[in-house]
Amino acid sequence: MAKKVFQSMDGNQAAAHVAYAFTEVAGIYPITPSSPMAEYTDLWASQGKKNLFGMPVKVIEMQSEAGAAGTVHGSLQAGALTTTYTASQGLLLKLPNMYKIAGELLPGVIHVAARSIAVQALSIFGDHQDVMAARPTGFAILSSGSVQEVMDLGAVAHLSAIKSSIPFLHFFDGFRTSHEVNKVEVMDYADLDKLLDRDAVKRFRKNALNSSNPVTRGSAQNDDVYMQAREIQDKYYELVPDIAAKYLADISKITGRNYAPFVFYGDKDATDVVIAMGSVTEAIEETVDHLVAQGKKVGLLTVHLYRPFSTKYFFEQMPKTVKRITVLDRTKESGSVGEPLFLDIKGIYYGLDNTPEILGGRYGLSSKDTTPGQIVAVFDNMVNAKKDRFTIGINDDVNHTSLPYEEVDVQKETSTELLFFGLGSDGTVGASKNTIKIIGENTDLYGQAYSSYDSKKSGGVTRMHLRFGADPIRSTYLVSHPHFVSCSKDSYLTKYDMVGGLREGGSFLLNTVVPKEEVEAFLPNKVKKQLAEKNAKLYIINAVKLAEEAGLGVMINTIMQSAFFALNEQIMDYATATKLMKKYAKKAYGRKGEAIVEKNYKAIDAGKAGLVVVEVKPEWANLTPETVEIDMTRPHFVREIADKVNAIKGYDLPVSAFTGYEDGTMDNGGTHFEKRGVANYVPEWIVDNCIQCNQCAFACPHAVIRPFLLTEEEMANAPEGLQTKKATGKGLQGLQYKIQISTLDCTGCGVCVEVCPSKTKSLVMSPIGDEIEKGEIQNAEYLFDHVTYKDNLVGKNNA
Amino acid sequence: MAKKVFQSMDGNQAAAHVAYAFTEVAGIYPITPSSPMAEYTDLWASQGKKNLFGMPVKVIEMQSEAGAAGTVHGSLQAGALTTTYTASQGLLLKLPNMYKIAGELLPGVIHVAARSIAVQALSIFGDHQDVMAARPTGFAILSSGSVQEVMDLGAVAHLSAIKSSIPFLHFFDGFRTSHEVNKVEVMDYADLDKLLDRDAVKRFRKNALNSSNPVTRGSAQNDDVYMQAREIQDKYYELVPDIAAKYLADISKITGRNYAPFVFYGDKDATDVVIAMGSVTEAIEETVDHLVAQGKKVGLLTVHLYRPFSTKYFFEQMPKTVKRITVLDRTKESGSVGEPLFLDIKGIYYGLDNTPEILGGRYGLSSKDTTPGQIVAVFDNMVNAKKDRFTIGINDDVNHTSLPYEEVDVQKETSTELLFFGLGSDGTVGASKNTIKIIGENTDLYGQAYSSYDSKKSGGVTRMHLRFGADPIRSTYLVSHPHFVSCSKDSYLTKYDMVGGLREGGSFLLNTVVPKEEVEAFLPNKVKKQLAEKNAKLYIINAVKLAEEAGLGVMINTIMQSAFFALNEQIMDYATATKLMKKYAKKAYGRKGEAIVEKNYKAIDAGKAGLVVVEVKPEWANLTPETVEIDMTRPHFVREIADKVNAIKGYDLPVSAFTGYEDGTMDNGGTHFEKRGVANYVPEWIVDNCIQCNQCAFACPHAVIRPFLLTEEEMANAPEGLQTKKATGKGLQGLQYKIQISTLDCTGCGVCVEVCPSKTKSLVMSPIGDEIEKGEIQNAEYLFDHVTYKDNLVGKNNA
């Protein structure tokens, strides 16, 4: 057997890796969270990487997902093994072609990073609504629950499609699996090659529609023969489970991991079994271990081959001892009598002897976090409340469907959980993934990284959830009880609850410009109290200064990474970590020149050196946390929804919070109340240099910069010190021109300065301070309330 | 109560009638069989017909069904009650918008003439595959089973959508209901007006998205709140069944017909119950009557409100005595453990006490005829074989799913069944519908007309299935045991089995140019034997000659209609019929002038006069039918599939006939073997007049006319008498030009003659005869096999 090769990658990369081997043509159109699969395929094809047929993949990008599906259909008919990648509405647009691809018995494969469908609102996050919308199409459906499973089972989709002539949809959870970086064993193309049925490939090619094989396909049938011609295909579907089962067994042999159409996990005499598919099965396995250790007779039945659904393989795996079943569906079909998998399971048990009780529940819509505590509640519910069609992960105080639960910690003692708070675009995500790679490729440890972005992207808050441990990591949920918390931005201290979940004795690393002796005064009572109560360790670092000194500008990620390694020697001793960080920095920046590499070396060395220990005083435990007064003058939507979402407390909003907003309506004007104040530097208007072109306003991605024109009367009433200049341009006689900068909304990205065409720049980045803020706010209020000519200027003078 | 108004119309017209009342904007894009709904709406709007809000409907035609769905979505958001009409792939293209419309709680309505989805082949015929693909969208789904139900329940969809804020999909079976003409009671807009909740309309309008009500909709939500915001909508869905039930009760009161979310029909202590929806429920009612009369404890539970599925209303209707249930689904989901309705019913019974046995079956894919005999087999199966996941209506000799059955006649003695064989475009369909209207509007009889076209349209064979009777007609299947058969084309005698199903003592009317004294010799033995064995009456009429004499050209429909009334005085005495036919002819042709009306009067009078009785000799019963030798030299596909389809025997093809064609492949070249010989007149080439423009070949809709060029060598080898002329045009020196006409493929449409630009026409229509046929066939064989320049000429010289 070949040496096992491990690599850290996300689910999309794993899917692209196996799909590439079997793909001759890829018809693509991007949609989050599936896009990276197509991007990897495109990249590798451009590098000349060869598939199992000795050729690079031909990648065809279309103008919509419907077009990509048409490409797949046509390309398959022309005899090329064809693949696509999609999600959500993208999959919906493929449905008409999917019926045709299945009906014409073509071995296409679609890899789906399963995502919510836009209903009351769009969401890019993951659930199975899209996959379930495709279940009537006649595609076989295969499910993977982790990055490793994507790698292992992705090939089964292609191999089985080729052998059975039935197309496959292979799916895994959007974001949770598609974007989770995990250390996985990489499939060797040589192994896949051995499994490929080349005779079936030949038969497929021989059947291609071309001028030397002229037949008619895609024709019409009438009421006389359509039904017979449709029913004859059953014989193809009947063969699929055995074909897939054989390949799953082959893959099991190669990998040493246990796969089948259905896989049971837990006590072999289990009485209480949860049935599920997708990433939640990993968290359920953890929870089952936890409960079995307590002597509970529980288990999990994971569904891999969802369509065709094989009762034979199902009953082979389900213990005969089962008395109670709960089926978890990651979808919602309003108006139905039950979600799809739930109805399937009832369907196959109906009418048998000694049937188990079967309950159904919904979970995880749009990546709603599903934790071991919730899963314990599911097992409890089977025995106690027996609530049916319940929900978990939310507090449904309207329809009263939700199960109450308490968090349960099922982490192994050998594992470490870490949580990083970063500012979007500050390098936190890249650094975290780099860290995972360093550890994954240089130790026996397994690592996992999952990012929570907010939709504000650049300038928004980013949380990286990291785990390391001696065993493969199955915790498919957010880190809420970290051993270590790192924060790149000290203004977050008052906005977010960063150390509330920190474990007893854990560490908190804060990047701040505040010197050690002022930290005690600077920290909110609430944070100090939390740290003291948890016997936590507190470290500060002035990464902004260190990065500047190293010549890295605002990129503080290398400093923070080095500090992380210095504080987490249980993962790797710091000397080794330093060597490795330098090796990876050279790899990453080598082609940018020796100078850049040297700067990073300097930053790496500075990381540990810059760490400052701050004593956590036991008496802090007695402090009274600041009370936060809710400002009742803020509009209801802002106060009850937007403010909470912005404080990362949207997760806890009960269902009733959306009363009055049931149709997805959002009140306008919310940003007016959201002053983020995340920028360290903001643009300052240099009046004399300004040529009034409005380019800065046009380019500002956050609508922070706005030009105004004031009449003489408005000037007379203006607050003292309002800087303006005589407006130039046709029809602007007698008006004064003013650039207004809403500094509290600014993220400090500096685009305005970059685009300013004035030779003598009319904007400069200045450190934010009382003076700038105060003047600006006063100006802004006056300008917006009293000045006539404003936003319509944007784009007007851009000659 | 207002006087009941009856009218004969098809399901599309009925749907359009009620939809119009509640529609302000219609976003449309045509797709068979739903197009007439949009066409009626467009027509009425152009005539200024007013909806319940006093305005004509604004009709917006888009460039695809996806665009129409976008129009519906946007128009609803703008506060206009909006409707669309669609089917099949058209509905699939609407799915992404449907999720949004439901999620934004918008009261849109889609009327669906339910149609198959293109799988191994496209089909325009009816089943529920499209509707079932829409079941996860969150739309409420309402089903109608007859033209009258479409009229009655269509309004419930609009009324309930407006009151509940949940959009409705109202469906009825494509073709079977959408195109069946039936005599129905017409809904009065005044009655509908009383049911409309105008407060709900006001609320809807007030919530419109416009500049005086600026809010944000269609935004994005993340993993923190999407699930809560999705779950809160449950409370809206919970109200729908009660709202719909109330309107169904209101409609019941108005119409005197019994409607509810679920309606039971049959023995109140039924032990064996079929559950179904759509047009099949009418045929099941007939069959249940038949079985109950035999003392069987059987029944039918009709599903009207399929989504939201209300167990409360279901159990209210289902007899407590039920022991066995069979669920019939008009769809197929390959790879599933059961079709959707089947799984729903198992789902709601699972875990209850004393649960019935539940079996599931598929029927009627793509309008596959579902007959009382098949339904009796379903009831038998519940008690005896207990086969699960069976099929009916086909012989599945591959997967062995089908139930064996024998035809059962459940027609009432007062009803008459009639079957008309016509040639596409000869007026048979129009005349039959006209007949239904005459009878429906002038007698107390109910009437039904259903057309079976073949896909060849003009020149293809058309069958009209008509029924008349004292009670509303529920026979939602083809006429197979007619009291009366009419045939417009005597060449059909050898092609189709026309009188095989004729009832004992029935009548057969044949249009033929064969004189009375030659008829005995002309008729095939098979037909004579059938007529004698059935003690049938035989009538002939030379309608071709009579139509010519009346000045109506080839339009024989009026003659045949008159002859029909003359031979079916059990429906209406002939004198009255004559008066009415003339009244309707005046109405139809009045604006074309008195002359045309007079011609039709003459034809009406000629109908009865032209009838000739031919004695059916009892000794014909002893004749030996002609044996049909199957020509084994014909290609397999032609012999085993195409020939049978062309002979209207495709209905009986077993599933195994499609072995080798499982992926929808059809062999090419089949038309080469199909010589229809349906034209009485065919074009003849007048060599001297021809200017070699090829326009005739270009315009021929049946590819019957093809130009050839022959070399000197080819000319030398040509059969004697091959007419050609010197080819003109660049590069054609030394070649001879020839127009070849495949007379046996010609339908005699005469388009070639019309387009011929030669002043002295180079084509004339001549009666077909041995001479033309023989020479042409000889020519064609030589030309196609030996001549180099052929089809590529088409379009070449069209300067």
Question: What distance separates the 2 farthest-apart alpha carbons in chain B?
Answer: 91
- CB-based contact A467:A400 (threshold 8 Å): no
| Token duo for residue A536 | 């936590």
Model confidence at B799, pLDDT cuts 50, 70, 90, reads: very low
Residue B755, chain A, CB below 8 Å: the answer is no
- According to the model, what pLDDT value does residue A669 have? 82
Which residue shows structure tokens 């009188």? Answer: B499
- Residues 98 through 127 of chain B touching chain A, CB cutoff 8 Å: 99-100, 102-106, 116-125
Q: Which residue of A has its CA nearest to B131?
A: A136
HSE of A303 in the Cβ direction (CA atoms, 13 Å)?
A: 27
Distances (CA, A) of A719 to A131, A716, A743: 59, 9, 18
Residues of A in contact with B364 (CB under 8 A): 227
- A357 and chain B: CB distance < 8 Å anywhere? yes
Helix (H) or strand (E) holding B76: helix B65-77
Residues 6 or more apart in contact with residue B265 via CB below 8 angstroms: B281, B284, B285, B288, B299, B300, B301, B302
For A546-555, what is each residue's pLDDT tens digit?
A: 988 988 877 7
Beta strands in A277-320 (DSSP E): 298-303, 305-307
Where are the strands (E) in A193-303, listed by range? Answer: 215-216, 262-266, 272-276, 298-303
Tokens 């030398």 correspond to: B716
A237 touches chain B (CB under 8 A): yes
Average pLDDT estimate for B735-740: 91
**3-state DSSP assignment of residue A546:** helix
Rounded to 10 deg, the angle between the B280-293 and B372-383 helix axes is: 60
Work out the pLDDT band at A56, boundaries 50, 70, 90. Answer: very high
Q: pLDDT tens-digit profile of A106-164?
A: 999 999 999 999 999 999 999 999 999 999 999 999 999 999 999 999 999 999 999 99
- Region of residue A677 (left: phi > 0; alpha: psi -120 to 50; beta: else): left
Q: How far is B82 from chain A (nearest CA, A)?
A: 17
> Mean pLDDT lowest for which of A693-702, B66-75, B255-264?
A693-702
Q: Where are the alpha helices (DSSP H) in B568-650?
A: 574-589, 594-609, 636-637, 643-646
Could you say which residues from 436 to 465 on chain B have a Cβ atom under 8 Å away from some Cβ of chain A? Answer: 452, 454-455
Longest CA span, chain A = 91
| Residue A677, pLDDT above cutoff 80 | no
CA distance B83 to B202: 18
Q: Do A418 and A486 contact (CB within 8 A), yes or no? A: yes
Closest residue of A to B637, CA-based? A215
Residue A212: its pLDDT value, please? 85
Residue B238 predicted with pLDDT over 60: yes
For residue range B352-386, what is the model confidence (pLDDT) as tens digits? 999 999 999 999 999 999 999 999 999 999 999 99
The predicted structure's pLDDT at residue B47? 97
Q: Which residue from A28, A35, A191 is spatially nearest to A94, judged by alpha carbons?
A: A28
Q: How far apart are CA A562 and CA A564, in angstroms?
A: 5
pLDDT reported for residue B499:
96
User: DSSP states of B227-294 as a string?
Assistant: HHHHHTTHHHHHHHHHHHHHHHHHHHHHHS----SEEEEE-TT-SEEEEE-STHHHHHHHHHHHHHHT
In this prediction, residue A2 carries a pLDDT of 59
Could you tell me which of B580, B366, B578, B611 has the C-alpha nearest to residue B510? B611
pTM > 0.80? yes
Does B420 touch chain A if contact means CB atoms closer than 8 Å? no
The answer on pLDDT for A791 being more than 60 is no
With bands split at pLDDT 50, 70 and 90, how would you rate the model's confidence at A729? Answer: confident
Identify from A333, A336, A396 which residue to disrupt to test chain B contact, counting B C-beta atoms within 10 A and taking the largest count.
A336
Helix, coil or strand: residue B447: strand
Residue A116 is nearest to which of B226, B232, B651, comparing CB atoms?
Answer: B226
Res B56 pLDDT > 50: yes
Decide if A305 contacts A313 (C-beta within 8 A): yes
Q: What is the band of B622 on the pLDDT scale with cuts at 50, 70, 90?
A: very high
**Hey, is the C-beta of B48 within 8 angstroms of any chain A C-beta?**
no
Res A83: pLDDT: 98
Phi, psi of A484, rounded to the nearest 5 degrees: -145, 130
Residues B532-552 pLDDT 10s: 999 999 999 999 899 889 888
Assign A459 a pLDDT band (cuts: 50, 70, 90): low
Contact (CB<8Å) A122/B218: yes
Q: Do A338 and B347 touch (CB under 8 A)?
A: yes
Q: What is the pLDDT of residues A23-32, one digit of tens each?
A: 999 999 999 9
Report the pLDDT value the prediction gives residue B437, as an integer from 0 to 100: 86
Q: What is the pLDDT of residue A458?
A: 64
Query: Does B30 touch chain A if contact means CB atoms closer than 8 Å?
Result: no
pLDDT in tens, B215-236: 999 999 999 999 999 999 999 9
Cross-chain CB nearest to A391 (options B226, B231, B236): B231
Mean pLDDT of B694-698: 91
Q: B459 pLDDT band (50/70/90 cuts)?
A: low
B8-36 mean pLDDT: 97
Which pLDDT score is estimated for A795? 43
pLDDT value at residue B793: 54
Q: In this predicted structure, what is the pLDDT of residue B681?
A: 82
State in Å, rounded, how far the first CA of chain A is from the last one: 68
Q: Residue B792 pLDDT more than 60?
A: no
Mean pLDDT of chain A: 93
Q: Above pLDDT 70, what percent of chain B?
A: 97
Residue A779 has pLDDT above 90, yes or no: no
pLDDT at position B794: 47
Which tokens in the block code for residue A223? 């009421």
Contact, A369 vs A477, CB < 8 A? yes
Residue A498 has pLDDT above 50, yes or no: yes
- Please, which pLDDT band fits residue A678 given cuts at 50, 70 and 90? confident
Q: Please tell me the predicted confidence (pLDDT) of residue A441.
A: 87
Put the strands of the sheet holding B612-614 in their side by side order: B6-10, B181-185, B446-452, B461-469, B416-423, B484-487, B507-511, B537-541, B612-614
From the list A215, A231, A334, the residue facing B233 with the nearest CB is: A334
> Which pLDDT score is estimated for A701?
83
pLDDT averaged over every residue in chain B: 93
Confidence of residue A90 (pLDDT cuts 50, 70, 90): very high
Model confidence over A304-340: pLDDT tens digits? Answer: 999 999 999 999 999 999 999 999 999 999 999 999 9
Instruction: Name B82's bridge partners.
Output: B25
CA–CA–CA angle B550, B554, B556 (5° rounding): 70
- The least confident of A263-272, A372-381, A561-570 is A561-570
Q: How confident is the model over B460-477, as a mean pLDDT?
A: 93
Alpha-carbon span A410 to A407, nearest angstrom:
10
Of B450, B462, B449, B508, whose CA–CA distance to B483 is shortest? Answer: B508
Q: How far apart are CA A84 and CA A59, in angstroms?
A: 10
* A617 backbone φψ class: left, alpha, beta (φ>0; ψ -120 to 50): beta
- Choose the weakest-confidence range: A46-60, A747-761, A763-777, B586-600: A763-777
Give the one of A89, A120, A225 whose C-beta lies nearest to B229's C-beta: A120
Cis peptide before A96 (omega within 30 of 0): no
Beta bridge partners of B168: B109, B140
